[in-house]
């Protein structure tokens, strides 16, 4: 296809779709009360409930965690901290080339408000929530920076001291001859763009139902995350099992989260004995907002316009 014919095809397609009201496939189930939410689904008798204790600090060292009172509380089957996760799993895949480890629970240091520091698994949600309140945490607050541009400066407090920089990944793309394109351009524009802090607010917060089969050394997880093919190999690697012993199912919906985060990585937590029974974890709306606050600052540059 020639360039002219290709441009014409794009123009014809745009004229046919732009401005039209397109039916959505998921509306029928929602409007007729047939939407399937993970928290509404029945679970097997004996399924535990998991609740997460989260950090109140944006940046702090964890000096001590005392879980004894929580572990001995009525109905509690297990309490997991960062030390337990390191002993049981491998680091999750890190999407940058920096020498980082990624754990679903904070290890030694917290780096954002709402970061998980412990998980309590109990016979029901009420007992799990009560046990979370029994965990004693001692933090040493550290300076925090919420502006991404300021965080990239040389004297900014470091989130990962081993890297000696807050810039953990940098990629440069170059296409064609940009110097010539700028030199021949009639106008050149420079703009700074700042995206404000926001929080994801899906119709359904994130949730999982997970089970470990000790006899088969296998895991079965039901989740409402919308990227199962990306999460499955990450989960299997962290659990140290082949992919065929780490099954990940998802609900057939379109109104939960599409961004993989720390909560999805909690799929990769094997709950130690005696909690080989299934467990369910559904994020509360307040926790959802705390853990997903984020903001972006970016800079697109070109010279000011010229005559």
What is the model's pLDDT at position 271?
54
Domains of the chain: 41-144+201-294 (3.90.1170.50)
pTM exceeds 0.85 for this model: no
**Residues sharing a CB contact under 8 Å with residue 79, sequence separation 6 or more, in sequence order:** 67, 70, 71, 118, 119, 120, 121, 131, 135
pLDDT digits 0-9 by tens, 156-178? 999 998 888 998 888 888 999 99
CA dihedral 246, 249, 250, 251 (to 10 degrees): -150
Name, in order, each residue with C-beta under 8 angstroms of 235's C-beta and a sequence gap of 6 or more: 219, 221, 246, 248, 265, 267, 268
| pLDDT tier for residue 255 given thresholds of 50, 70 and 90 | low
Task: Give pLDDT, residue 140.
Answer: 97
pLDDT in tens, 29-78: 778 887 777 777 788 888 888 888 999 999 999 999 999 999 999 999 98
Over residues 234-242, mean pLDDT: 84
Supply the pLDDT for residue 65. 96
Question: Percent of the chain at pLDDT above 70?
Answer: 77
Q: Give 132's pLDDT tier (boundaries 50, 70, 90).
A: very high
């Amino acid at each position: 296809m020639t360039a002219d014919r290709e441009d014409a095809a794009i123009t014809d397609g745009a004229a046919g779709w732009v401005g039209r009201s397109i039916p959505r496939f998921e509306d029928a189930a929602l409007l007729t009360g047939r939407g399937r939410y993970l928290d509404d689904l029945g679970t097997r008798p004996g399924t535990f409930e998991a609740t997460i204790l989260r950090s109140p600090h944006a940046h702090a060292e964890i000096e001590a965690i005392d879980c004894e009172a929580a572990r001995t509380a009525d109905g509690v089957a297990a309490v997991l901290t960062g030390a337990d996760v390191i002993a049981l799993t491998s680091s999750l895949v890190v999407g940058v080339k920096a020498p980082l480890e990624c754990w679903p629970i904070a290890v030694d240091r917290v780096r954002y408000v709402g970061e998980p520091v412990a998980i309590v698994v109990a016979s029901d949600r009420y007992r799990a929530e009560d046990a979370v309140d029994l965990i004693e945490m001692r933090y040493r607050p550290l300076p925090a920076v919420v502006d991404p541009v300021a965080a990239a400066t040389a004297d900014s407090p470091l989130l990962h001291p081993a890297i000696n920089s807050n810039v953990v990944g940098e990629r440069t793309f170059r296409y064609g001859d940009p110097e010539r394109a700028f030199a021949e351009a009639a106008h050149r524009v420079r703009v700074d763009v700042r995206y404000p802090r926001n929080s994801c607010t899906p119709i359904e917060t994130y949730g999982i139902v997970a089970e470990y089969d000790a006899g088969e050394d296998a895991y079965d997880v039901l989740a409402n995350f919308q990227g199962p093919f990306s999460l499955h190999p990450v989960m299997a690697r962290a659990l140290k099992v082949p992919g065929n012993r780490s099954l990940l199912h998802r609900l057939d919906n379109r109104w939960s989260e599409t961004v993989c985060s720390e909560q999805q990585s909690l799929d990769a937590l094997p709950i130690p004995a005696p909690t080989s029974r299934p467990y369910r974890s559904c994020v509360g709306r307040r926790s959802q907002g705390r853990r997903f606050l984020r903001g972006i600052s970016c800079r697109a540059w070109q010279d000011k316009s010229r005559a």
